[in-house]
Chain A
């Protein structure tokens, strides 16, 4: 009787999660996978086969866009870690108890504004007639207005800005759990600053680093608005290809194929990253 009640409450608690995963994640992905294996041979005539994947491999521009997206996403993740770690360190370890919450809130403020508006904010700053360019001309540093939009650097900056919060949050929560005595013990036993950082801080923060990197990498690789708005036609982001196939060319089969490939490839990168750094999901993200 007790056991039945326990089972029922477990089922009820699991239900929203299972429905969410099942209906909104697994089912659509299965649908996408199914569509990607459909080859169009005539009007409303389809055959099953890997033809769409063969098309992808045969066309270098698709392939290169995917690799480029992955590389740029890795770069963005690395930069976000580099910039986010000191910020997280300051919030978790240096800031006073009272200002900590305020600083955390400040980090969250950009999220109150929509992605679209934030991207346009960058455009207002960086375009040829924008704030930065005008100020530089006014100060006499440059002779003519410059266009700072539509290049890779701007895309990377914009993406780092968009995703850095998702790096900071897990880092702050792991670093906050670290007893300052660990650092002092590190120095006391003869370690210099670099040794303490390398052998104590980084290993301790590893769960947060891995979680932050996975989240930012996945968000970056799957982002659409920022690369399109800041990179324009030159951005060549893989999500743009997916959009083009689905919407512009109405080629659902190719679009679905690209979607599956993006998911597969980014998962592969995450797996390779974990293997390379000698981590596993169970020792980092899922660690109690």
Chain B
């Protein structure tokens, strides 16, 4: 049994198709993310699940029952809004009690329930505080508590970390994951930030132009993307344009547009002579000699220090600027030095050229 299922959900706004035949099944208690660039239709999809928009076609089921006929206030999915939408004229306790009072809980039970949920999100005793007295991270937790106190079947989160500063965002990622474990509720999380989706999710759906490109575990998306869009959007990638010169089983020899030939795994059905892009993860690259057809020459453009995420920017002789991972910034190369960049050919993948790329 799935907590939430969408079956070929489509939403048209006039002649524009915002969501195009999307299907998904979210098992109970899992953390599911929808990852996509802004304008890809992910917010529209979430608003349809919450009931603020009606699908043009398709069905949405919660715990197996279609909810299309139910108004938003009768669906047992709760939503954490992008800017949280805490009620500024109510205290923290009243914000949380609002949903309980709407549900018609006995007046005497409400304070105990509010106290219990505040305890679970790690903010005991803040009932009487005003919303503006809370810090960004605390507001976040109150917004989640306000939903969780109603024991929803699914909790929807619409990029709630977007407004936080970087440090707090990193912290909240871990905390959200822990909260999800603690409540054992199904989370549907929407984001355009691939690192949020990768870190927190059990399953990620990558969405582009109203469609799901790929659904899978974060590791699967990262290591075995099914399209150029997923390869480019999930994680960092270097991308080299070229044309398939020869196909050898699973591999292809790609003639790069700037000159030179490299070997790459075939990620999709692109055939001989097709325009393709070769994707290389920065951490798959190293300074030094690689396999034949897995080496390119260039000049060190600059060194970017960022702790364990340090990079060497290499200007390739045949055109593009690529990033090479350099954990520890060992100092083996200097700026403007002529270098050879190599990689394991199994970690290079080519996909048909993306539209517009």
Contacts and interface: CB of A to CB of B under 8 A. Distances in A.
B83 A191 contact: no
Interface stretch (A9-17, A176-184, A223-231): A176-184
Nearest to A185: B85
A194 to B, nearest CB: 11
B341 interface: no
A181 B99 CA distance: 15
B150 A190 contact: yes
Contacts of B87: 182, 185-186, 200, 203-204
A204 B85 CA distance: 13
Given A185-B79, A189-B98, A179 B73 contact: no
A184 B85 contact: yes
A204 B72 contact: no
Nearest to B52: A184
A188 B81 CA distance: 10
Residue of A185, A191, A199, A203 with highest tally of chain B CB at under 10 A: A185
Contacts of B150: 189-190
A46 interface: no
Interface in B84-104: 85-90, 98-99, 102-103
A138 interface: no
Contacts of B147: 189
Nearest to B74: A190
Nearest to A181: B85
Interface in B58-82: 71-74, 77-79, 81-82
Contacts of B98: 186, 189, 191, 199
Contacts of B74: 190
B89 A179 contact: no
A195 B99 CA distance: 11
Nearest to A178: B88
A179 B85 contact: yes
A179 B85 CA distance: 8
Interface string A193-220: 0010001100110100000000000000
Nearest to B143: A185
Contact of A189 (B83, B89, B102): B102
Contacts of A181: 81-83, 85
Contacts of A188: 50-51, 72-73, 77-79
Given A188-B78, A188-B79, A189-B78, A182 B85 contact: yes
Interface string B330-355: 00000000000000000000000000
B83 A179 contact: yes
Interface residues of A, number: 18
A117 B242 CA distance: 79
Contacts of A192: 73, 102
A120 interface: no
Given A189-B99, A189-B147, A199-B98, A184 B73 contact: no
A136 B128 CA distance: 61
Contacts of B79: 184-185, 188
A98 B71 CA distance: 30
A187 B79 CA distance: 10
A2 to B, nearest CB: 33
Contact of B146 (A189, A199, A204): A189
Contact of A187 (B73, B86, B103): B73
B52 A203 contact: no
A189 B79 CA distance: 8
A190 B83 contact: no
A190 B99 contact: yes
A228 to B, nearest CB: 41
A195 B87 CA distance: 14
A191 B241 CA distance: 54
Residue of A199, A203, A206 with highest tally of chain B CB at under 10 A: A199
Contacts of A190: 73-74, 99, 102-103, 150
Contact of A206 (B81, B89, B99): B89
Nearest to A283: B89
Nearest to B82: A181
Contacts of B146: 189
A182 B84 CA distance: 9
Contacts of A179: 83, 85
B73 A185 contact: no
A195 B147 CA distance: 17
A94 to B, nearest CB: 16
B81 A185 contact: yes
B20 to A, nearest CB: 24
Residue of B73, B74, B81, B90 with highest tally of chain A CB at under 10 A: B73
B69 to A, nearest CB: 16
A184 B83 contact: no
A179 B50 CA distance: 18
A79 B87 CA distance: 28
A200 B87 CA distance: 7
Given A189-B150, A190-B73, A206-B89, A184 B102 contact: no
Given A189-B73, A189-B99, 19 more contacts: A181-B83, A182-B85, A182-B87, A184-B72, A184-B81, A184-B85, A185-B81, A185-B87, A187-B71, A188-B51, A189-B102, A189-B150, A190-B74, A190-B150, A192-B102, A199-B98, A204-B87, A204-B89, A206-B89
15 contacts: A179-B85, A181-B82, A184-B81, A185-B87, A186-B98, A187-B51, A187-B52, A187-B73, A189-B78, A189-B102, A190-B74, A190-B99, A192-B73, A200-B87, A204-B88
Leading 5 A-B pairs by shortest Cβ distance:
A190-B102, A189-B99, A181-B85, A185-B85, A203-B89
